[in-house]
Each structure stands twice: as structure tokens, then as C-alpha cells.
Amino acid sequence: MLLAALITSYVVPLGALSHQPVNSQLVARAEQVTGDRFRFSTSTPKGVWVVAVNAPHSDVLSAIDQGFTELFAVAQRHGYRNHLAFSDYTVFIGRADRTHDSSGQYSPGIAVPAGQYAGGYYDQGGFIYAAGMVLAFAPSAFVIAEHERDLSRISNIVRFEGEHIILYYNDRSLYEKTADHSRGGGHPILQ
């Protein structure tokens, strides 16, 4: 309980940080993609920077750390050594544009232009719902949708979006083959 109170109290409004560790161009990119205004910044217990539209609870921060823990373990099994520090990453948490998929399953997603997915399975009329999306490689960042429950899903999304970044830094050939799901394939990429 005390740890949860300490973590929650560490969440501060983004503009209030005197030594803002989050790149302002990266925040602008995330806001452009999601249409959100990211107002809060904090870090997880293991050092991942989190920028969110609403102050994230301690259980959300723990779920993010769990996703990276699983990602780093599978990356090491593959012999990857680059970009395996929690502090290498920034996770944006944007508002969910939907909370359930077409079959009624809980599946928060962010609506983004269909782009290369246009006309395909995921196309919802010019846009797709993304559980997560890589925003940048340097600094390494991605955005996920807010979750109200099923926080293990957050861990999975963090692991899956992180796979793209791990591959970018460790296996560029496999990254090129799997960076875009419009050609098929999905997660997990690394078993």
C-alpha cells in the first residue's frame, strides 16, 4: 500500500517537470497520432518513462514493467543484447477510442488512419484500431490505449510493441519482415 501511494504521488503534470525527460517532439508526435493531450508523466518502478492523458495507477505501471520483463527475457534467449534497459523506453497511454471489438471482447484500441491496412481485414472505414503503435526508435517509444481492467493485456501489448524496437536494434532483417502486419503475421514475433 505504501509503495502504491509513493508511485501515485510521483505522477506529476507534464508541464510541471523542471527537467522534463520526455522529448517535446515525441510528445507532439504522440498527440498528432492519437489526438490526445498528454498531461502526466511518471516512471515505472523499474524506470520506464510513462506519459499519459490521465495519471496511471500503480497497477498499470507494474503491468508495463511486467511486459518489458517478459520482452527482455525472450530477447536474451534469442541472443539479443541491445536496448534491454527499462530506461531506454517511453510508453504513452492514450485514450481508448473503443473498448470492445466487433465480437464484444474487451479490447481497448486507438483509432489511427488505415494507411497500408486500407481495404484489408483491419480497415474500419479508413482507420484501424491499434492496441499499440511504435512512435519512434530514438528515443524508443510507443503508445497504448488506456485500460480499466484486464491489465495482463497491457503487459502483452508492451511486450508486443517492444518486439519491434528490440528487432530494430538487434535483427534489422527480421524487423523489416515483421514491422508491418498488413502483409500478415502478428505477435508474438519472438517465442
Specify burial of residue 174 (Cβ count, 10 A radius: 0-12, 13-18, 19+). middle
For residue 22, being part of any structural domain is answered with yes
pLDDT of residue 87: 95
d(CA 3, CA 60): 13
Residue 120 lies in a domain: yes
Structural domain contains residue 60: yes
Q: What percent of the chain stands above pLDDT 90? A: 56
18 lies in which domain range?
2-183
What's the whole-model pTM score?
Answer: 0.83
| Residue at 108 is within a domain | yes
Residue 126 confidence (pLDDT) above 60: no
Kindly state the average pLDDT of the residues 89-110.
88
Q: How many domains in the chain?
A: 1
Whether 191 maps to a domain, the answer reads no
Helix (H, G, I), strand (E, B) or coil at 3: helix
pLDDT at 145 over 50: yes
Average of per-residue pLDDT across 114-125: 54
Residue 188 lies in a domain: no
Query: Cα 160–93–159 angle (5° rounding)?
Result: 15
Residue 154 is which amino acid? I
**Cβ–Cβ under 8 Å, residues 49 and 92:** no
Indicate whether 46 belongs to any domain. yes
